[in-house]
Structures are given as C-alpha cells and as structure tokens.
Amino acid sequence: MTSGYTIFLELTKLVKVTGIMSNDDLATEYQFDYQRAKPNRFADQNNDRKRTIVVLDEDVSQVFKTPEAVNKALRALIEAMPH
C-alpha cells in the first residue's frame, strides 16, 4: 500500500524533472478514488435543521453534558427574559 506522502514525493520529482507545473499552478485534473472515499463526518446528516456550533468552557461543559441540556437551559433563560 502506497502512502499519500510517497505519492506526493513521486509527483514532486516528476514535476521537477518535466517542469509541467510551476508552484502556483493547480493540476487540470485530479483522479479521485470514489471506492475508497469516506463520508464527511463533519457534514450535517440531518439537513432539515440548521445547526450552530458553540464551544463551551470547561466549567460549563461539566454542568451541561448534552446538547439537549444546553438547549433546555437556554430556552428557560429566553422565557425568563423580558420581551
């Protein structure tokens, strides 16, 4: 099995020898192996809802362990706020 780094080194040698690309150029075509592709784990699997990512401080994350707990607390705070 060839590593990506090994392929990169071979392509770098080829480019230096043949001079086909300058450092600023992109290749006109890339070969993508769809059989080895994996789903994007960061992509939203539930497209019917918009999500916003918020990073909690360590002390807050000790109290609110799940997204549901955070949402419940925030909704209670919103209800308590004067309109």
Average pLDDT over residues 17-32: 69
- The pLDDT-based confidence of 52 (bands split at 50, 70, 90) is confident
- The pLDDT-based confidence of 27 (bands split at 50, 70, 90) is confident
Number of domains in the chain: 1
User: Exposed e or buried b for every residue in 39-70, given b needs 16+ CB within 10 A?
Assistant: eeeeeeeeeeeeeeeeeeeeeeeeeeeeeeeb
Mean pLDDT of the chain: 80
Average pLDDT over residues 32-60: 82
Inform me whether the pLDDT recorded for 7 exceeds 80: no
Stated pTM of the model: 0.41
- Give the range of the structural domain holding residue 28, as residue numbers without chain letter: 4-80
